[in-house]
A and B are shown apart, each in its own frame.
Chain A
C-alpha cells in the first residue's frame, strides 16, 4: 500500500481543509441528488452501490482536476501558471453542463480559495482569484483544493485523498438529510468506501498525465441536477 510522509502541521491543516464543517457552504448543495432521492429513485439499500458507481465517475473527474490544480504550482512562470489556471477551470466548467451543479462547484471553489487566502499569506492565491475575476472565469472546488495543497507543500496524493474524503462525507451528510440513513450506517458506508477512494486516487494520477482521457458519464444524476430548479420544495441550493 502506498504511503507518504506528512509533517504534523500539514496533517492538521489537511484535516481542517477537508472538514465538512469548513465554512464554505458545502452542506447547502446536493448536486442534484435531492431530486433522485425525492422522487424515490434512490433508497438506503441502494446507497452504497450507487455511491461506488457515482464516485468512480464524478469523483474521478474531480480528482483528476484536483491533481492538475496541484501541479500548476510547479510552474515557475507566473503568467503561464495563471493562463493554465484559467484554462483548467474553463475546461471543468464545460464538463459541468448542469447549471446548478456547475455554479455550486464554482461557489465552493471561490469561497474555499478566499478562506485559505485569508489564513495564509500566499500571493499566488490572490493572483489566481484576480485572474479568474478579470476573465470572468469560474474557480472550481477541485482544482482550487489541489492548488492549495500544492501551495502548502502537502503531498499530492494526500491532497487528492483529502478532497475525495470530504466529497464522500458531504454526500453522506446530504443523504442523511434526504433518506432515513442512521449515523452508524452512514459511518459504516463511509468506512467501506475507502478502497474506492484509493482506486480513484490511483486512476486520477494516470488521467492527470493524459487529460484528454478524462471522462465522466453520470446521465441520471446530471438530469436530476438539471431538474432540481423545478422542484417545488427544496432543502438544498443545488
Chain B
C-alpha cells in the first residue's frame, strides 16, 4: 500500500543559546519550531544557565514521523535541555517508514550542554531510528544521558519492538570521541550474554570537557567507579565507568527494572559536575 508524504509529520526545532555578558545569563533563541516539536520558554537556572523543555505536543512518536532537533550553544553559554516525559514510540503501521529522530548539537568554546531527557520506551511493533551528533569546541562541556526501556513492561512488552537503531557521534575539534551504532530488531537474541543477559534497561551517560588532561580523567574515572561499585546490586543493576579516548568518560548501566537508573545518573552527574566545574548539579524542574 503506497503512503503519501502528507501522512508523515516533520517536526523541527532549531535553537540557539547565547551568553549575555552584561546579565551573566544564557539566553534562548528559537530559530525554527515546527509541530509537533515545540519549546515554550527558557527558565533561568543557577550559574547563568537556561533550562528548556523540549515538547512533543502529539504526546508520542508515531510511524513515519521525521523529527529534527538542533541546538547551537554559543561561547560560554550554558543550556540544559530536557523532555517533559518519556518518549513513547508507538507501533508503526507496516506501510509507514520508521520514525526518525535526528539531533545535531554544537557546543562552542567554553559552552556547556546538559542533555537530560526522560527514557525512550519503544512499544511493541515500533520502528525507530535515532541519530545524534555532538560537536564540541575547545573547553566545551557536555553531560548527555539516555535511557532505553525494553518496552511497556507493565503490559508485558519486553523487546517486542520491530526495529531500533541508535547512532551517537560525539567529537571534539573534529576528532571522534565516542561512536555508538546500535542495531536491534525482532530477530535479535536480547537475552544473550553478549547483549543484555538478564537485564532489560540500558543507560549511557557521557561526560566531556574538552582540554582536560588524560590523568585528570583517570582520576575522575576512579572516583566515579567507587560510586558505581556502591550502586551495583548483583542481578538487578550493574554500573561501569570508563574514560573515552580523550576529553571525557562514559557511565553505563544495565538494569532489570530500570527504577534505580535515574537516581544513579544523578549521583554521577553530581560528582562529575562538582569535579569538573565546582558546581552543584540541579535536576531540571518538572513533575517527578
Contacts and interface: CB of A to CB of B under 8 A. Distances in A.
Contact of A220 (B180, B197, B239): B197
B240 A223 contact: yes
Interface stretch (B7-15, B75-83, B243-251, B262-270): B243-251
B192 A219 contact: no
Nearest to A136: B246
A96 B178 CA distance: 8
Candidate in A58, A97, A98, A220 with the most chain B CB atoms within 10 angstroms: A97
B150 to A, nearest CB: 12
A217 B178 contact: no
Interface stretch (B17-25, B65-73, B182-190, B278-286): B182-190
Contacts of B197: 41, 220
B195 A93 contact: no
Given A215-B183, A219-B254, A94 B177 contact: yes
A122 B240 CA distance: 42
Interface string A120-151: 00000000000000000010000000000000
Candidate in B181, B184, B221, B245 with the most chain A CB atoms within 10 angstroms: B245
B175 A42 contact: no
Contact of A218 (B184, B194, B243): B194
Nearest to A54: B194
A66 to B, nearest CB: 17
B234 interface: yes
A53 B183 contact: no
A225 B197 CA distance: 15
Interface in A84-99: 90-91, 93-99
16 contacts: A39-B234, A49-B192, A50-B192, A54-B194, A90-B175, A90-B176, A94-B171, A94-B179, A95-B179, A97-B180, A97-B250, A98-B242, A217-B182, A219-B252, A220-B254, A226-B242
Interface of A: 36, 39, 41-42, 46, 49-50, 53-54, 56-58, 90-91, 93-100, 102, 138, 213-227, 229-230
